[in-house]
């Protein structure tokens, strides 16, 4: 580690030590949160040497963001996590303004990490879009998943097409047909978002392979790209910026969603589906675990959203979490995402909920599973957070009517049929899965009372309540 790295590391350790042991009323049990300060995108997700590894964008220095480094969690079961420190620091000329998002590739007992190094050209007249920053791709490796090699630059701005701005970032690396492949998100000079594909024989020397985008403009920037297959179906996940809000979609500042891909041809990128319709979801990444499951984890937050809503955890010195790990499946061209099965092992004290009656309880860690019959349906949590479904219009809404949303108000879309719901509450983190994961709403929620209540309105076949605990 160089001298700058030692200085940054010492400051990180000091801040984390000051935060250790603080009482955190909204602390989740199962969602990854930062030791201190700010968290955003999940990075470097992988299974390596008997453990799951989750890296994340981390700024312990500033609860509202700031200089980004990588934090690191490991676990054996996707439920219980142990913090391993901050392995990647902004300590070279190629990443001095931030260790931005990236991915992991594991092979032959070695973990490889690729990420975007952010450099702002502050000595020039600053042009945020076209030439105001350097966006290198850097590579490090490790044999134990904890200690990493010297950083190597494998791509610079000069390696990107001339018709691209300086906004090219977030490498995702995998191996296909005997070659290593990398996908990067980008912003073209004509204001159109796209992804770039590179290929390599050795993980060090990369050549541009092709570009993929839509025929018509679809946002000005595509962040955090991911290309993977589930049950033979290829899926391109991107987080577009610049989409105009519509009545039933694109209601957040920025979106995250996917295209079903047949030939990696822009003409095939027709129908974009959002991963999550709630208030707090962005920048997901997937990986395949040792059991062959495709697992997705997202950032349970939203960039540039502070004008609309806030998180009171800022006063406690931290902000944001990652979502629960979700298993991705595909059935009849539909993509489903559902909490990994390990979460059910944390359930206890099952109780039956009767429709039309108020169920009172205490505690911030619980799940509700319910099977619907027909007609209009409604779930009310603490008379503040409401999930409503109108059968005639097929409209489904997530609504805050009290102070628990901290500025969050309503998100709505359409669902053809409502069969089942699973609501998972982990302190201030609420994830709602409809029809076994056909649709998801994720939101932060800050209850205003210790005496909790739940009410199901409409006709339900069954409804069960479970407490969650370690």
Which residues are known to be catalytic? 41
The structure tokens listed for 138 are 């850097």
The structure tokens listed for 364 are 């911030």
- If phi > 0 it is left, if psi is from -120 to 50 it is alpha, else beta; for residue 264 that is left
Distances (CA, A) of 426 to 21, 29, 394, 401: 20, 6, 29, 20
Specify the 3-state DSSP secondary structure of 436: helix
Cβ-based neighbours of 323, under 8 Å, separated by 6 or more = 31, 281, 284, 296, 297, 298, 299, 300, 429, 431, 442
Beta bridge partner(s), residue 119: 134
Distance (Å, whole) CA 350 – CA 345? 12
Taking alpha carbons only, the member of 365, 382, 361 closest to residue 324 is 365
The structure tokens listed for 414 are 């359409």
**For the chain, counts of helices (H) and of strands (E):** 1, 32
Distance (Å, whole) CA 171 – CA 223? 10
Distance (Å, whole) CA 102 – CA 87? 14
Distance (Å, whole) CA 367 – CA 429? 12
Distance (Å, whole) CA 181 – CA 449? 51
Tell me how far the alpha carbon of residue 305 is from its chain's centroid: 15
């Amino acid at each position: 580690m160089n001298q700058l790295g030692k200085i940054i590391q010492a400051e990180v350790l000091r801040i984390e030590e000051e935060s250790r042991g603080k009482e955190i009323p909204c602390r989740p049990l199962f969602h990854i949160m930062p030791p201190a300060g700010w968290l955003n995108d999940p990075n470097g997700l992988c299974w390596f040497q008997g453990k799951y590894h989750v890296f994340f964008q981390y700024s312990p220095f500033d609860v509202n963001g700031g200089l980004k480094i990588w934090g690191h969690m490991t676990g054996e079961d996707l439920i219980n996590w142990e913090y391993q420190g901050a392995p990647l620091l902004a300590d070279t000329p190629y990443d001095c303004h931030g260790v931005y998002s990236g991915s992991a590739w594991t092979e032959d007992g070695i973990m490889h990490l690729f990420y975007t190094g952010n450099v702002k050209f502050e000595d020039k007249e600053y042009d945020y879009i076209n030439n105001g920053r350097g966006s290198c791709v850097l590579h490090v490796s490790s044999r134990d998943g904890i200690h990493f090699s010297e950083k190597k630059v494998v791509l610079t701005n000069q390696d990107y097409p001339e018709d691209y701005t300086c906004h090219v970032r977030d490498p995702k690396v995998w191996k296909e047909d005997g070659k290593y492949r990398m996908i990067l998100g980008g912003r073209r000079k004509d204001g159109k978002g796209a992804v770039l594909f590179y290929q390599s024989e050795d993980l060090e020397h990369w050549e541009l392979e092709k570009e993929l985008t839509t025929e018509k403009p679809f946002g000005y920037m595509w962040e955090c790209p991911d290309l993977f297959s589930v049950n033979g179906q290829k899926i391109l996940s991107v987080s577009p910026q610049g989409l105009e809000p519509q009545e039933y979609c694109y209601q957040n500042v920025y979106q995250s969603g996917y295209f079903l891909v047949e030939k990696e041809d822009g003409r095939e990128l027709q129908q974009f589906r959002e991963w999550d319709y709630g208030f707090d979801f962005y920048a997901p990444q997937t990986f395949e675990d040792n059991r062959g499951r495709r697992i997705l984890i997202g950032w349970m937050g939203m960039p540039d959203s502070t004008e609309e809503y806030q998180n009171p955890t800022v006063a406690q010195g931290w902000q944001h979490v990652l979502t629960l790990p979700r298993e991705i499946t595909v059935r009849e061209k539909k993509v489903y995402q559902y909490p990994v099965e390990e979460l059910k092992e944390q359930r206890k004290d099952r109780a039956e909920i009767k429709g039309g009656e108020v169920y009172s309880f205490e505690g911030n860690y619980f799940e509700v599973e319910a099977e619907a019959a027909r007609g209009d349906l409604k779930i009310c949590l603490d008379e503040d957070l409401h999930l409503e479904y109108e059968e005639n219009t097929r409209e489904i809404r997530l609504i805050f009517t009290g102070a628990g949303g901290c500025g969050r108000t309503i998100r709505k879309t359409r669902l053809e049929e409502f069969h089942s719901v699973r609501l998972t509450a982990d302190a201030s983190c609420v994830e709602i899965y409809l029809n076994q994961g056909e649709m998801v709403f994720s939101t932060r929620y800050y209850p205003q009372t210790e005496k909790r209540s739940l009410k199901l309105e409409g006709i339900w076949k069954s409804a069960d309540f479970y407490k969650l605990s370690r």
